[in-house]
Amino acid sequence: MLLKEIRYVLAVAEHDTVAKAADSLYLSQPALTKYIHNLEDSLNIKLFEKVGKTLKPTEYGKTYIEAAKRIQEIFKEMEQNVYSMDEMLRGTLRIGTGRRGSYVLPNVLPAFSAKFPSVKVTLFEQSYDELDSMLLQGEIDIGMLKQPQDLNPNITYLPLFTEELVLVTNVNHPLCSMAVDKKDCTYPWLDIRLFEDERFILYKPGHRNRFLINKLFAANNIMPNTFMDTNNIEGALHLVQKGCGVCFAPELYAHNVLQLEGDVKSIRLFSVGEPVSRYQYFVAYRNNLHYTRYMAEFINILLDYYSNKTP
């Protein structure tokens, strides 16, 4: 009601007569005259006085008009800000990811920021279990998640890629020569039982990948010789490079880590197990989240990146 009131009063002030103001507002002259009189009665002041054939604002009217113009500008600014957010010009995008995000996002954020330079990106690097909770609590807008045991019905999951958990050895490890080509395996396949006496650098108990690895060991009756328990996969890969043991790693993660260092040729990746261990990664968001255009575009860029990604 206030904005309507302001628009009517400013129209009269601009056009000097009720007739011209009514025409600009697509109102009848009697309707506008009645509205102005009712407003003056409710305020108990006179906004306009007749000077010849025109209406001029009184001192009260001048004060009202100055304030009305400021309010109108504030409203216009509010409209522009909201419109800008919807049109991908402004806003904040909160992205949650595991540690791999520090390797993936440099490949997708440049394209995103080139289109939307005024959209601020806030990154949250947490465990995948924590990211599930943060999505549901509204603490992040988008999560890059490893497949949970149960898909939550309140979250939309879009598949990004399927990844294999591979065995990583030094390039000169003597057992590399025992690898064979096998159907449905991305990499040369090695019998994990050959490594029964090898030193393993393993994820700490409770890690999602450690669960898959323990299943692999149990299926092959292996009691691993554990050299180190760690969740620092970069450190594990560097130890393997130095010949200090073997480890398991998500295939793309291993490639990303070592490609950034220019030393991917110092290791070998092998498929292990029957069947090999694979899991799905998703980009996910809450079902009731306001789906901004810049959020949709970030997801599209991410999906496009992985559709063209090869190890």
Res 311: pLDDT: 47
Tokens of 307: 């559709």
Tokens of 132: 């599930």
- Decide which of 43, 59, 86 is a domain's last residue: 86
Q: What CATH number is associated with residue 236? A: 3.40.190.290
Instruction: State the Cα–Cα distance between residues 43 and 55, nearest whole angstrom.
Output: 18
Domain that holds residue 19: 2-86
Closest CA to 123 of 102, 146, 145, 148: 102
In this structure, the answer to whether residues 56 and 205 fall within a common structural domain is: no
Res 63: pLDDT: 92
Give the CA dihedral 78, 79, 80, 83, nearest 10 degrees.
120
- % of the chain surpassing 90 pLDDT: 35
pLDDT at 86 over 70: no
- Decide which of 56, 86, 116 is a domain's last residue: 86
pLDDT at 133 over 90: no
Task: Count CB neighbours of 242 within 10 A.
Answer: 9
Q: What CATH number is associated with residue 25? A: 1.10.10.10
Res 223: pLDDT: 93
pLDDT at 305 over 90: no
- Residue 117, helix vs strand vs coil: coil
Q: pLDDT (tens digit, 9 = 90+) per residue, 186-231?
A: 899 999 999 999 999 999 988 878 888 999 999 999 999 999 999 8
Res 260: pLDDT: 58
Q: pLDDT (tens digit, 9 = 90+) per residue, 221-277?
A: 999 999 999 988 888 988 998 899 999 998 887 877 666 566 667 889 999 999 888
- Decide which of 37, 53, 86 is a domain's last residue: 86
In this structure, the answer to whether residues 53 and 97 fall within a common structural domain is: no
In this structure, the answer to whether residues 209 and 272 fall within a common structural domain is: yes
Q: Are 35 and 26 in contact (CB under 8 A)?
A: no
Res 270: pLDDT: 95
In this structure, the answer to whether residues 147 and 69 fall within a common structural domain is: no
> How far separated are the first and last CA of the chain, in Å rounded?
61
pLDDT at 169 over 90: yes
* Per-residue confidence band for 70, with pLDDT thresholds at 50, 70 and 90: confident
Whether the CA torsion 249, 251, 256, 258 is positive or negative: it is positive
Phi-psi region of 91 (alpha: psi -120 to 50; beta: other; left: phi over 0): left
pLDDT at 107 over 70: yes
More confident residue, 128 or 172: 172
Q: pLDDT (tens digit, 9 = 90+) per residue, 18-46?
A: 899 888 887 888 888 898 898 889 889 99
What is the count of structural domains for the chain?
Answer: 3
